[in-house]
Structure 1
Amino acid sequence: MKDPKGVVAAGHKVTAEAAAEVLREGGNAFDAAIAAMAAATVPEFVFSSLGGGGFVMARPAGSRTSICYDFFAQTPAAKRNPDEIEFYGINADFGPATQEFHIGAGSAAVPGFVPGLYAIHDDLGRLPMTRLLEPAVMAARDGVTITALHAYLYTVVAPILTATPSARRYFAPDEKLLRAGDTYRNAEVSDTLDTLAREGPRLFTEGEVAQAITAQSRELGGHLNLEDLKGYTVERRVPLAWRYRGHELLLNPVPAASGALIAFGLALLEKLLPEGGAPDPVLLARIMEETNTVRMARGQALHEIVQDATIESHLKALAGHAPATRGTTHISIIDAEGNAAAATITNGEGNGHMVKGCGFMLNNMLGEEDLNPGGFHLWEPGTRLSTMMAPTIALSRDGALTALGSGGSNRIRTAILQVAVNLFDRNMGLEDAINAARLHVERGSAVSFEEAPWEIAFNEDERAALLEAYPEAHGWPEANLFFGGVHSARRDGNGRLEGAGDPRREGCVVLA
C-alpha cells in the first residue's frame, strides 16, 4: 500500500477495521484507538465491555511528553454487608489448567471505560465522537460472526455466560452457547452506543444507563451507587520510563503493578547479562519467580520495586542461576504522523448479569484474585485497583517507535517481558518476537511452557535444562491464549509502518 495512514494490530478484524476506517478519514491514532476500543466491545465481549475499564499509553507525535490514561476500575465508596451481596466462585476451564474467578453483582467495581474514551477524545481527538462510535453501533446492530477462538472462549467462561437468564438470552440462545460461524447481534448495546455518541458520558455517570446500573446493583446485591459513577475520575499519569539495552520503555505506572514488575524483570536481566545476549528459559523462569516474590511482598510499595536495593537483594537470590539463563484485549496503533497509542481494556470476565435494557455486562474486578492478593472483601473504599495490564511504548536508538501490550490476566507481565527480550536481546523481527514460544511461572514455582513453536527462541538442550530445573513443569503442546495475546504496531527509523497480531488470540493487522 502506498503511503498508508497508519497501522493497527488488534484481537479481532472488526476491532482493527474500526480503527482503520477512522485513520483513512483523517483521524489520528487516538481517534482510531477510541473507535477500536468501542468496537471491541461487540466481537470481543468476553474481553471488553462498556462496563469495564482500561489504560491507554499515548505518545503524541513531536512531543517529549507521553500520557498514560488510567480509566481502570475503582472500588466503590461504601461496602455493603457481606451477607447482603451476591458473590460466588466459578472455574474457567482452559483445558490443561483451570482458574477460579468470582462473579455476581457484588463482584462489580466502578467502571471507567466510557469516561476514559471521552477523556482521551477531549485531549487528543480530532474527529467527532459520533463518527468514532459509529463502527461499534453498526457492528452491534448488523451482527458479527463468531470466530473459532471466541467460540472456544465461550466454553472457557461458560459458567459466566450462562449464569443468569439475561446473559443466556444473548450468549446461549436455545440453551446452547454461541458457536463458531454463528452471528452475534445486540440491538440493546447498539442503541446504548448510539445514545452515548449523541448525549456524551453523562449517560453513564448520572443518566439513564447510570440509573439502570445502580438500580440493578441495589436489587441484586452489589456495592455500586450513583455517587460512585458520578465521582469517577480518569487519571492522566506520567508513564514509568525505563531504559533497557539503550531502548526507552514507557510502562504503566503505579498504582498499576505491571510496569514496575516488568521493569524489575528487565533490570535483573540487564545486571545478570551485562554484555547482552539472550537469556535461556531457566534464567527467564528464575526471574519470573523473583518477580512473583516481590509482587507478593505485602509491605512493599510498588515504587520501591525498581529501587537499587530491592533489585540487589533479588540478585542474591538468583546467585548460581546465571546463564547456562485476564479477560483482556489489546490494541496497538501508530499513524503516519508518528502518533502512537497502546490500549489495553478489560471487563475481567464479567459479573454474569447484563445491565437491564442496556445490552452489556458489568465487570467482576472485585472478584479477580490477582487484583485482590490480600483476600476478597478487604478492599479500601474509593481507590483504584492495581492491575497487571501493561500498555507499553518503546523508543529505540534507531528512531523506531513500537506500541505493544497484551491480554492474559497475570500472564501479561511475563508475555511483555519475553517479547521485549525477543526484540531487544534476540533482535527478532516483530512477528517472530510475538510468535516465539513462551513460559510463565505462577506462585510456588509452577512453570508452564509452550512446546511449540519452541525453536524460534530456544533449542532442545535448553528445553531439557528447563525440565531438569523444574521437573514438574507443564508443557502445552502448542501456543495457547493462556500465555497472553501481544498485538504490536511499529514505525521504524525510516518511517515504515508494520504490525503483528498474536495468533494465540487471533490477532490481526490492518494497514489503513
Structure 2
Amino acid sequence: MRRAGRRPLRAPQRGVVAAGHPRTAAAAVEVLEAGGNAFDACLAAFLAACVAEPVLASLGGGGFLMARPQGKTPLLYDFFTQTPAHRRQPRELDFHPIVADFGTAQQEFHIGMGSMAVPGAVKGLFRVHRELGRLPMTDLVAPAVALAREGLRLNAFQSYIFDIVGIIFRSTPGALAVYGSRRDPARLVGHRELLRQPELADALEALAREGERLFYRGEMGRRLIRDSTEGGGHLVDADLRDYRVIKRRALRVDYRGSRLYTNPPPSSGGLLVAFALKLLEALPRGTLDFGTDAHLEGLVRVMALTNEARVRHHADRPTAHLDAASLLDPGCLRHYRERVLGHPAARRGTTHISVIDAGDNMAAMTVSNGEGCGYVLPGTGIMLNNMLGEEDLNPHGFHCWQPGTRMSSMMAPSLLLLPDGRHVALGSGGSNRIRSALLQVVMNLADSGMDLRGAVHAPRLHLEGERLSVEGGFAPDQVELLRGLAGQCEVWQGRNLFFGGAHSVLRDTGSGRLSGAGDPRRGGVARVA
C-alpha cells in the first residue's frame, strides 16, 4: 500500500520528438525506448515519414540535419540535392509545368525526369548513422518497414496534401501503382483509405542489409540512371558515384541573450533568419510583445527588408549563393537597421523532425522531395525529387544551374539556446515560408516569453514581394493595421500548411524536463518517450 501523501514515482523521460505524423513520431519513440539516442530516433522518424508522409519525405530527395551531441558544438550535415554534372538540352528533357492549389494561393512547379536533381537522402541517412547512431540500422528501419507492409489509413492532413499535388502522383503509371486507390485505380488513395507500400518495405530492408552502395552504385542506382538516360533526365552514373555528404559548421547568431545555430550557406534560409534577427535588434525589446502595433509593424518591415536584401545580394552575385560575411557585415546591417527604425512603407513539400533525448543530444532534421517529379524507381516505391523544377531553388531561371554544385535551400533546421536555460530544436517545412515561420517562432520564444506550444501555434505572417499573407487568428483591429502595411494583403481563414510546420521540442536544462509541440498546420504531433 502506498503511504499517504507520497506521489507515485514518475518514469524517467528518455526523450521527446515532434514530427508531422503520429506514426513518424511513434517510430522515434520506439527507438528511444529501445535504447537509441536522439540521432537514432531522428533517422527512424525520417524513414517512417517516407511511408506516412510520402508527399513530403522520400529517400529520393535530400535534406539537412543539425546535430548537437551532448556537450559539443552543433554541426550541420548537408545531404541536400546536387545539380547534375552535365546539362542536357531543354528539348531533350521530360520537363513540364503543373499548378499546386493551396486554396487561397496557387504555385507553379515543374516535374518530369528532367526535374530530378542528384538525391542525397540515402547517403545522409547512413553517414549520420555511422558517426552518431547507437543502434543497428536494421532496428532503425524496422518501424517504417512494418508500417509500409501493414499499411496506414490516410489522415485528413495527408489526404489534403495529396489533393494539392495529386496531379503529380497521377502523372505516371509507376506513381499511380503505388498511390492509386484500390477502389478506383484511376484516382489517388483518399481519406481513411489504407495505403500499403510493400515495395518500399522491401527496399528499406535491402538498404539496411546492403548499405548506401545499393542506391548509388548497385542495382537501384543502375536502374535510376538507365531510366534517366532513356526518359529525358540529366542524371548519369558519375552523379550518383560522386555524391558526398558535407559536414558544415553551423551558422551562429546571438539575439538578445539567446543563441541560434542554423543552416549555413550555400543554403539561404538560415542566413536570412539570422539577418532578420539582427535587424530586429534595432527595435527596443519591450516593443515586440506579440500582437502589438509595434510588433506587427516591425515584423512586416523586417520581412520586407530581408526580401530586398536577398534580391539585391543575388543580383550582385548572380552565379553564387548568398554570402554570410557580406549579408551580416556590420556596415550592411547598419544600413538596413536605419531603415527598420524609419517609417514603415506601404506596400514546398517539406517536413521537419525535432528530437532531444535525456542525455541532452539534440537533433533537428528538415527533409524534402520538392513535390516529387512523378517518376518512381521501379521495384522500390521511391519517388524521386523535382528540385530542378522548383522556381524557389532556381532563381535565375530553369536550366541555368551550375553543373555539379550543391543546391541552395530555404530549409533551416536550427537549435535555439535561450538565456533562461531552455534548449529548443526546431525547423519547418514550407518552401519559401520556412524563414518567416522560424523567425516568428524564435521571436515568440525570445521576445514574447511564450511557452513552446504558444510559440508554435500563434498565427503567422508571410511577405512575398508586395503581397502580405495573414493567417487566420489575428484580431480584426490587427488585420486592419496589417492591411495598411503592404501593397496587397491576403487574409486566410484559419490555420494553413502554407505558413509552414514548425515541429519543435524543448529541454529545460534546469529541471531536465522535456516537452514538444507539433505544428497543427501540417498535422504535427509531439510525443515523450
Q: What is the TM-score when the length of structure 2 is the normalising length?
A: 0.93
**1:281 and 1:463 in contact (8 A); partners too:** no
Question: Within the alignment, does 1:20 sit opposite 2:29 as a pair?
Answer: yes
Corresponding residue number in structure 2 for 1:264: 275
Q: How does 1:353-432 map to 2 (within 5 A)?
A: 353-432=375-454
Cα distance in 2 for partners of 1:473, 1:180 equals 33
Amino acid corresponding to residue 135 of structure 1 in structure 2: P
Alignment of 1:150-299 (within 5 A): 150-173=158-181, 174-273=185-284, 277-278=288-289, 279-297=294-312, 298-299=315-316
Q: Deviations over 1:37-90 (max 9, x none)?
A: 111101101001010000000000122x11100000000111112111111110
- Give the aligned residue type for 1:189: L
Opposite residue 265 of structure 2, the aligned amino acid is V
What is the deviation of 1:165?
A: 1.3
Structure 2 residue aligned with 1:149: 157
Aligned to 2:48: 39
CA distance in 2, matches of 1:396, 1:316: 27
Amino acid at match of 1:35: A
Aligned to 1:89: 97
What is the alpha-carbon distance in structure 1 between the residues aligned to residue 46 and residue 409 of structure 2? 19
Using the TM superposition, give the Cα deviation of residue 316 of structure 1 relative to its aligned residue in structure 2, in angstroms. Answer: 3.7
| SS of alignment partner, residue 482 of structure 1 | helix
Q: Decide whether the 8 Å contact of 2:363 with 2:425 is kept in 1.
A: yes
What code does the residue aligned with 1:182 have? E
Q: CA separation in 2, counterparts of 1:299 and 1:348?
A: 27
Aligned with residue 9 of structure 1, among 5, 18, 26: 18
Which amino acid in the other structure matches residue 98 of structure 2? I
Q: Where does the alignment leave 5 or more consecutive residues of structure 2 unmatched? A: 1-9
SS in 1 for 2:229: helix
Cα drift, residue 406 of structure 1:
0.4
In structure 2, how many angstroms separate the alpha carbons of the residues matched to 1:213 and 1:340? 34
Q: Which amino acid aligns with 1:71?
A: F
Q: CA deviation at 1:322?
A: 6.5
How many Å apart are 1:205 and its aligned residue? 1.0
- Percent of paired sites with the same residue: 50
What letter matches 1:463 in structure 2? V
Q: Counterparts of 1:316 and 1:415 in 2: how far apart (Å)?
A: 24
Match of 1:496 in 2: 513
Aligned ranges 1:447-462 → 2 under 5 Å? 447-452=468-473, 454=474, 459-462=475-478
Secondary structure of 2:425's match? strand
Cα distance, 1:275 vs structure 2:
5.5
Unaligned runs of 5+ in 1: none
Deviations 1:187-239 (A, max 9, x none): 11111100000000101110011111111101110011111111110001000
Distance 2:343 2:161 in 1: 37
CA–CA distance in structure 2, aligned partners of residues 56 and 276 of structure 1: 34
Write the distance in 2 (CA, Å) between the matches of 1:277 and 1:135: 43
Alignment of 1:61-100 (within 5 A): 61-63=70-72, 65-100=73-108
Question: How many Å separate the matches in 2 of 1:2 and 1:423?
Answer: 28
Separation in 2, partners of 1:396, 1:161? 42
Aligned length: 503
Shift of 1:472: 2.6
The Cα offsets for residues 302-359 of structure 1, whole Å up to 9 and x where unpaired, read as 2111221222222344343369xx2000000000010000000010000011111211
For normalisation by structure 1, the TM-score amounts to: 0.96
Residue 464 (1) aligns with residue 480 (2): yes
Alignment map for 1:429-444 (pairs within 5 Å): 429-443=451-465
CA contact (8 A) 1:280 1:462 kept: no
Q: Distance in 2 between matches of 1:184 and 1:363?
A: 21
Aligned 8 A contact 1:242 1:263 in 2: yes
User: Conserved in 1, the CA contact under 8 Å of 2:157 and 2:523?
Assistant: yes
Q: Which residue of 1 aligns with 2:142?
A: 134
Counterpart CA distance in 2 for 1:318 and 1:510 is: 40
> Which residue type is aligned with residue 496 of structure 1?
R
Q: Deviations over 1:440-488 (max 9, x none)?
A: 0112x11101122x2xxxx543322111223630100101000000100
The residue aligned with 2:61 is 52
Tell whether the 8 Å contact from 1:51 to 1:347 is kept in structure 2 after alignment: yes
**Structure 2 residue matching 1:9: 3-state secondary structure:** strand
2:527 aligns to what? Answer: 510
Q: 3-state SS of the aligned residue for 1:416? A: helix
Asked if structure 2 preserves the Cα contact closer than 8 Å seen for 1:283 and 1:321, the reply is: no
